[in-house]
Amino acid sequence: MRQLLKASISFGLIGCLVLSPIEFVPVTNLTVQAKSASTTVTAERVTTEYSKVYASRSKKAKVILPLTFGTTVYQNATSGSWTKITYKGRTGWVPSATLMPSLISTEYLVDRTTDLYATWSTKGKQVATVRSWSRVVKTGEYGKWSRVRVGGKTGWLPTSYLRAPYSNNRIARTVYGSHTYGVDTQAEYDAVYKRVKAEFNAKYDSAEFGFDEYVYRVLNGERGNSDPNSPEYMALDNSFLLDAEDALTPYFNGAMSLKTYEKIYRTNIFLRHIHSKYKSTDVVGDKNLKSAYDVLFRGKNDCDSLEQVKSLIYDLAGIDNVIIGDGVTHAALLFNVDEGWMGSSYKAYDKKDVDYTNANNIYISYTQTGHKIAY
């Protein structure tokens, strides 16, 4: 009972925050007219090592020009183990093994501060330093490394440092501003909303999610015996009273009014009901988990997917909210009530708290109005 009451007013879940990767499709039929070249090329390629462009299909042939690692060239034709390419208007042959397909340029987030290298090794020359949560454009990959472009510079960093930013482009219809609950498609959004809304309409206002008798007893002035040496201390009735008193701390210490506390209490008990009805398994390290759909329909969860379910329930209860995290280990929901923005501390945020939150967290679910937290 004590753990249930404590959990009923818990506003943050600590766990693994992971953003799902985007799959890339190699360019296979791209038609590009190379500058100053008379040949229409058919595919973009990237060099995988330092190489040379030869006048013919032999390393004994005349060298036209050298190519550095990670250079983008255009493939004209292939013959045996050789590929004819065009680079800056000049055409020649290179060993096919030194080329890889280019990737469709796609934006990513870098989840930690790291150096950008001229090659796919930390022994390579440092091109630049990329700060945590910078946006980069991924243009190639080799092994466990990705080639990215940021701030006019191109270099390589470990692929594991990249996280795909959330995109709501495929969600054309939402009920609460920019809240999409982490889903990938409109069909997923509609399914999630319909399931939770139906349950909310049927049960949210029922007595089972309101204060129980022990909360009312404490509110009426009764207190449990907190002396561990007292024979009464271990009695079940006394334990429930102590639990209720502990759970009411946000109200007793003035952090929120009884009206606010009762609403948050009811909303979180209803949330527990949803998780009990639609059971899901804790999963660690699955980069594909991120949405309320994962919890409610796939039966899997991690911290941010659970918070997405919580966000929907808070929306239905009329409590504006936002999910924030550090991008790696933590996701938590902040909510806005009469006392202001609050989190797990149950203390209303002052302007300094709000400014710090806006500046130091990555937002994976914006407020209903689609803006950052406003003080």
Our separate counts of H helices and E strands in the chain read 9, 23
What does CATH list as the number for 32-101?
A: 2.30.30.40
Q: Is 1 helix (H, G, I), strand (E, B) or coil?
A: coil
Q: Where are the domains of the chain?
A: 2-18+171-210+258-365, 32-101, 106-163
Cα 300 from Cα 275, distance rounded (Å): 11
Cβ-contact 117, 125 below 8 angstroms: yes
DSSP 26-61: B-SS--EE-TT-SSEE-EEEEESS-EEEESSSSTTS
- Report pLDDT for 28: 24
Amino acid identity for residue 139 in this structure: T
Cα 61 from Cα 93, distance rounded (Å): 10
Q: Please, which residues have CB within 8 angstroms of residue 340's CB and are 6 or more apart in sequence?
A: 348, 349, 375
**Domains 2-18+171-210+258-365 and 106-163 agree in fold:** no
- Report pLDDT for 141: 75
- Report pLDDT for 105: 56
- Report pLDDT for 73: 85
Q: Is 263 helix (H, G, I), strand (E, B) or coil?
A: helix
Q: Please, which residues have CB within 8 angstroms of residue 293's CB and are 6 or more apart in sequence?
A: 181, 182, 183, 184, 188, 191, 192
- Report pLDDT for 9: 35
- Report pLDDT for 106: 67
The token pair that represents 249 in the structure block: 């701390």
Q: Is 18 helix (H, G, I), strand (E, B) or coil?
A: coil
pLDDT tens for the chain, 375 residues long, are 333 333 333 333 333 333 222 222 222 222 222 233 333 445 777 787 778 999 999 999 999 999 877 777 888 888 999 999 998 889 999 998 888 766 555 678 887 889 999 888 899 899 999 987 788 888 777 778 888 888 888 899 998 888 766 555 567 888 998 899 988 888 899 999 999 999 999 999 999 999 999 999 999 999 999 999 998 999 999 999 999 999 999 999 999 999 999 999 999 999 999 999 999 998 876 666 789 999 999 999 988 899 999 999 999 999 999 988 765 667 889 999 999 999 888 889 888 888 888 777 766 677 777 677 877
Query: Phi-psi region for residue 173, left (φ > 0), alpha (ψ -120 to 50) or beta?
Result: beta
- Report pLDDT for 359: 77
Cβ-contact 113, 132 below 8 angstroms: yes
Identify the helix (H) or strand (E) that includes residue 311: helix 303-316
**Residue ranges of the alpha helices (H) in 98-232?**
186-203, 213-219
The token pair that represents 239 in the structure block: 């334990």
Cα 266 from Cα 73, distance rounded (Å): 61
User: Domain 106-163 class?
Assistant: mainly beta
Cα 104 from Cα 250, distance rounded (Å): 51
Please check whether the domain covering 2-18+171-210+258-365 is classified as CATH 3.10.620. yes
CA 25-100-28 angle, 5° bins: 40
Instruction: Give the position of tokens 């933590």.
Output: 330
The token pair that represents 347 in the structure block: 């203390």
- Report pLDDT for 224: 93
Q: Are strands 43-47 and 72-79 parallel, antiparallel or unpaired?
A: antiparallel
